């Protein structure tokens, strides 16, 4: 079969490898769709993660497909079943993060008869999530990034009637907007430098969109109100979700946050930040990190199947697997793309 691997910094290739074969506890999935994630670009730039036993790093962790074969001991999956694949899916798999990757014609998911336990010892639900008939396979590949956004929104403890600001309208920021609306939050401001992505944010439920290049905090204050903290001006947002990884954004949030505001960070920062702990203390700010997906896979599938949200605007580009390198190039253009999906014959 063919798969996408990283050989070194900015060296990504399509290579031929042997077809995987499932052991007694494993499931072989014929991949139908795999999304391109921002972390894939980081892996390509850094030359990939170390692989046990050495070799290039396979890519792809936003995956849906059809079960092609099951091991003799497997009772929780059947051939022909349409599934979303949880990734990284525990240390025995590390799908797309140092183990096998979903940008391949087939994916071997190991140990599905055993509990899923992440490196930090969180016991998770399962590796494979059946897709209802109402959901397409490309929608199934959106479950993982939507789960990242839902996880961040869960960390924010967002409640109906609150005011939220989402910095960054890339796929994770858009996923957070979808989840905020699903939880009943209607007053959402989306901030980004790309008018294309801001248009997507508006279609997905943001009430106000703000281009960060032009006095964004004036626009945020006009949309969500002005307050004062210890005699200093602040804006009325109850919570912030930060997806950009820009140090200047974090500092501005601390400068403008009202008393008791909550900040959730779901971004990769390439450099350590110095945090203004005086402001954190004096404003009683709550700052939380949000890493990947917790237990949200089933909740995302339920959300999609409910019909209460339409995530189709997120998916702006589809490429056949033969054009996967073009897919990477498009995903690197925030002025042009939302979520970029690679599809296979399923």
- 274 exposed, middle or buried (CB, 10 Å; 0-12, 13-18, 19+)? exposed
Residue 241 resides in a domain: yes
162 & 79 share domain: no
99 & 81 share domain: yes
Reduced to 3 states (helix: H, G, I; strand: E, B; else coil), residue 315 is strand
In this predicted model, what pLDDT tens digit does every residue of 215-254 receive, in sequence order? 999 999 999 999 999 989 999 999 999 999 999 999 999 9
Q: What is the CATH number of the domain that holds 268?
A: 3.40.50.720
128 & 150 share domain: no
Predicted pLDDT at 125: 61
| Contact predicate 329/25, CB 8 Å | no
Residue 305 resides in a domain: no
108 & 195 share domain: no
136 & 161 share domain: no
136 & 151 share domain: no
Pairing of the two strands 163-167 and 187-192 = parallel
Residue 133 resides in a domain: yes
276 & 324 share domain: no
In this predicted model, what pLDDT tens digit does every residue of 157-177 receive, in sequence order? 999 999 999 999 999 999 999
In this predicted model, what pLDDT tens digit does every residue of 95-116 receive, in sequence order? 999 899 999 999 999 988 876 6
Predicted pLDDT at 192: 97
Which of 224, 287, 288, 227 minimizes the C-alpha distance to 258?
Answer: 227
| Contact predicate 106/20, CB 8 Å | yes
Residue 230 resides in a domain: yes
Predicted pLDDT at 112: 87
122 & 207 share domain: no
Cα(187)–Cα(227) distance, rounded to whole angstroms? Answer: 17
137 & 157 share domain: no
Segments of the chain with pLDDT less than 70: 91, 115-125, 346
324 & 231 share domain: no
Q: What is the CATH number of the domain that holds 84?
A: 3.90.180.10
71 & 114 share domain: yes
Q: At what angle do helices 247-256 and 216-224 cross, to 10 degrees?
A: 40
Predicted pLDDT at 87: 87
The CA distances from residue 342 to 53, 142, 145, 176, 284, in Å, are 28, 12, 14, 22, 44
168 & 256 share domain: yes
Residue 298 resides in a domain: no
Residue 195 resides in a domain: yes
- 186 exposed, middle or buried (CB, 10 Å; 0-12, 13-18, 19+)? middle
Extract the tokens encoding 289.
């990190």
Quick count: other Cβ atoms within 10 Å of Cβ 338?
24
Cα(297)–Cα(34) distance, rounded to whole angstroms? Answer: 16
Predicted pLDDT at 179: 98
pLDDT mean across residues, the chain: 92
Q: Residue 103 is part of which domain span?
A: 2-142+311-343
Residue 302 resides in a domain: no
Query: Global pTM?
Result: 0.93
Task: Indicate the number of domains in the chain.
Answer: 2
Residue 16 resides in a domain: yes
Predicted pLDDT at 122: 53
- Sole residue written with tokens 């350590």: 272
């Amino acid at each position: 079969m063919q798969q996408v691997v990283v050989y070194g910094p900015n060296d990504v290739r399509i290579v031929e490898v042997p077809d995987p074969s499932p052991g007694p506890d494993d499931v072989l999935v014929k991949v139908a769709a795999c999304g391109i994630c921002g972390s894939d670009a980081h892996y390509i730039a850094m030359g990939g993660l170390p692989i046990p036993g050495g070799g290039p790093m396979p890519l792809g962790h936003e995956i849906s497909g059809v079960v092609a074969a099951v091991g003799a001991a497997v009772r929780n999956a059947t051939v022909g079943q349409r599934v979303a694949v949880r990734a990284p899916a525990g240390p025995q798999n590390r799908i797309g993060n140092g183990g096998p990757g979903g940008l391949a014609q087939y994916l071997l998911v190991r140990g599905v008869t055993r509990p899923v336990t992440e490196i930090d010892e969180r016991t998770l639900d399962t590796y494979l999530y059946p897709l209802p008939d109402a959901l397409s396979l490309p929608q199934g590949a959106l479950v993982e990034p939507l789960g990242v956004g839902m996880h961040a929104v869960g960390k924010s403890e967002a409640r109906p009637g609150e005011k939220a600001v989402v910095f960054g309208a890339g796929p994770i920021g858009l996923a957070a907007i979808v989840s905020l609306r699903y939880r009943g939050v209607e007053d959402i401001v989306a901030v980004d430098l790309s008018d294309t992505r801001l248009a997507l944010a508006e279609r997905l439920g943001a009430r106000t969109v703000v281009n960060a290049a032009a006095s964004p905090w004036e626009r945020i204050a006009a949309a969500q109100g002005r307050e004062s903290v210890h005699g200093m001006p602040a804006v009325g947002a109850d919570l912030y979700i930060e997806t950009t990884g820009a140090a200047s954004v974090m500092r501005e949030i601390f400068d403008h946050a009202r008393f008791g505001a909550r900040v959730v960070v779901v971004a990769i920062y390439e450099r350590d930040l110095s945090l203004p702990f005086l402001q954190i203390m004096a404003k009683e700010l709550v700052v939380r990190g949000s890493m990947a997906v917790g237990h949200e896979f089933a909740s995302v599938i339920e959300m999609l199947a409910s019909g209460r949200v339409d995530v189709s605007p997120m998916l702006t580009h589809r490429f056949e697997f033969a054009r996967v390198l073009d897919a990477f190039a498009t995903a690197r253009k925030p002025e042009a793309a939302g979520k970029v999906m690679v599809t296979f014959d399923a």
